[in-house]
Amino acid sequence: MAAGGRCNTGKGPTGEKEGKKVTRVLEWEGCVVSPVPTATADEAWALLSDFLAFHRWHPRVAKCRLASPSAAVALAMFETRRQGWRGRRRP
**Per-residue pLDDT tens listing for the chain (91 residues):** 444 544 444 444 455 556 666 666 666 677 777 776 787 888 888 877 777 777 787 777 777 777 776 666 666 666 666 665 555 544 4
Residue 12's nearest CA partner among 24, 1, 20, 2 is 24
- Give the Cα-Cα-Cα angle 38, 42, 46 (nearest 5 degrees): 105
Q: Tell whether pTM > 0.75.
A: no
Q: How do strand 84-89 and strand 15-17 relate by DSSP bridges?
A: unpaired
Residue 48's nearest CA partner among 5, 4, 3, 91 is 91
So what's the pLDDT on residue 91? 45
Give, as one character, the DSSP assignment of residue 25: P
Distances (CA, A) of 53 to 11, 39, 79, 86: 40, 17, 12, 15
2 forms bridges with which residues in the sheet?
33
